[in-house]
Each structure stands twice: as structure tokens, then as C-alpha cells.
Amino acid sequence: MDLKKCRDCGVAKELAQFWKMQAAPDGLSYYCIDCAAERNRRGKENRARRQEKTYTPQGRRRVLAEGEKWCPKCERALPRSEFGSNRSSRDGLTAYCRPCHNRIGRENRERNHGGTRHYHLKRRYGIGADDAERMLAEQGGVCLICHRELGVENMHVDHSHTTGEVRGILCFNCNGGLGQFKDDHERMLRAITYLDARMRPSLARRGAVSCRCSLTAVPGRERVRRLCGDHAPAHTVVRPQLIGWGSAKPHRRREAE
């Protein structure tokens, strides 16, 4: 039976009591499974203690209470919950507390990119703040869909989620609506058909004006256009209370002589 001696406990144990380790000459760990687990436990405790210690700007070690971290910017000991996440750091947290971290980020964007808004437009859409304002002016200062008047503070850049191409400037609601429909023309047309079928009967029952123009096939004749109350001649009237889905029939009366 092959045995191997553990460097920690010094006991010769069976090879099955050692983890595999490719870097070792024999392909097995230097420590038995029990000792390796104990070393890992002690290592975690030591790392946790090191994370609770930091240095002041003067180079003096500062021992913090459990669950605290030192912010070198505002020079305060704060709860670890006041720091953001950073997977690349040793303790998994940002070097500065959230307020200091955000302020430094804004200052850097202002210095390097001319402002936060310009930075985000460049990063997401490849255009600057001046380009977005020029596009808004070229389209008359309004949303291209609902024609709501827009300004710098409430305009939103619309872009293709497939190609990334910038298409225009919209308001928040219209831009979000296109995103919810995934820029799918067929889905939007079905939504229009759905609303048209559900809303017109209820509008007619309430007496609201609802466009009912349609094309009707008449035997022996070409398709005849039936006009609603909005578009019919003056001698044609429509009784809203008689209008139902698929039953818009104009009632004619003689013009006053």
C-alpha cells in the first residue's frame, strides 16, 4: 500500500487522503485533506482580519471595528454597506465610499468628456450632446411620434437595437413604447388592430366621434367607400347611439330648402 506523509501533521496516510495537485511532482497535494481544510479555514480568518485593518494618509495603521472600512477620500470609518462592489479589489469593495466614488466619477467625466450627459451619449449611441441637440432642432423640437414639444432635459435618443443606428429624438413614453414592442412592425400593427376592435364600440356607445370610414363590396359595382360622420357630406348624419361594431349605417335626411 502506497503512503504519503503530510507536511503539516507528519502522519503517513493513504494516497486517497490527499487532493490531486498537478503542480506537485507526484500529482498530489503536500497536505492531507484534513490539514488542507484547516489551512483554508485559517487563511479565510486571516484575510478577514486584514480587511478590517487599513492605513491612514499618514501611514499609521488604523484598526477598524468589525464590518467597517476606511474611506481615504473623506477620511472616515464607515460601514461596509456604504461602499460599492468591485470584484477586482482584494476585499470586493470600491476604494471610496459611494458619495466620494460618485463625486470622483462626475469630476473625471466632466474633465475628460465635457460632462456626464455627453459621456453617456458618446458611450451608448456614438453621438455627442451637440449632435443630439442638432437632431432635435432639425425635427422641429418635437417628438417624431406624438409631436410633443421637447427640450434638452426630456429628450431621448431612439436607436435600432439590431444595428445600433440612431434614428431620431423621441419623448420618454414613445421611446419606451418602441422598446417594449422590440421594434417589431407586425406586433405593433396587431396592437393597433386590437385597440381598434376594442375601443370603437365603446366610443360609439358613449357618443364619442369615431372614424368609421370603410370600403364595402357591392355586387355588380366597384368597392364603395362608406364615410363616417367626420368625413360624410353635410346632408349625411350619423347617430352615435346606433353605431355598433360592423354596423355603421348613415341615415340621410333632406337638406333644408
Q: Are residues 101 and 74 in the same domain?
A: yes
- Residue 254 in grid coordinates: 333632406
At residue 120, the pLDDT reads 76
Q: What is the pLDDT of residues 90-140, one digit of tens each?
A: 888 999 999 999 998 878 767 665 556 767 787 788 888 888 889 999 999
> Rounded distance, CA 21 to CA 151, Å?
64
Whether 57 is in a domain gets the answer no
CATH of the domain at 104: 3.30.60
Task: Please give the pLDDT value at position 152.
Answer: 83
Rounded to whole angstroms, how far apart are CA atoms 35 and 233?
Answer: 97
Q: Count of domains in the chain? A: 4
Residue 134 covered by a domain: yes
Could you tell me the CA-to-CA distances from 7 to 12, 29, 33, 40, 45 in Å, in that order? 9, 10, 12, 15, 21
pLDDT score of 83: 94
Q: Give the residue from 180, 196, 222 where a domain finishes.
A: 180
Please check whether residue 152 lies inside any domain of the structure.
yes
- Which pLDDT value is given to residue 55? 52
What is the domain extent for residue 173?
114-180
pLDDT at res. 204: 55
* b/e burial code for range 133-172 (CB count within 10 A of at least 16 → b): eebbeeeeebbbeeeeebeeeebbbbbeeeeeebebbbbe
Q: How high is the pLDDT of residue 54? A: 54
Same domain? For 166 and 214 the reply is: no
Q: Which of 194, 233, 226, 198 is nearest to 211 (CA)?
A: 226
- What local confidence, expressed as pLDDT, does residue 53 receive? 55
Which helix (H) or strand (E) segment holds residue 129: the answer is: helix 129-138
Q: What is the pLDDT of residue 12?
A: 93
Tell me what pLDDT residue 168 has.
92
**Dist CA 207 CA 27 (whole Å):** 87
pTM of the model: 0.39
- For cell 366621434, the residue is 209
If asked whether residues 157 and 204 sit together in one domain, one would say no
Q: How far is CA 181 from CA 67, 158, 173, 177, 184, in A?
A: 46, 13, 12, 6, 6
Q: pLDDT averaged over consecutive 10-residue blocks of the chain (257 residues)?
A: 88 92 88 93 77 53 78 89 90 92 82 66 82 91 92 88 88 91 89 83 56 49 49 42 40 47
pLDDT of residue 122: 79
Quote the pLDDT of residue 17: 92
Same domain? 234 vs 220: yes
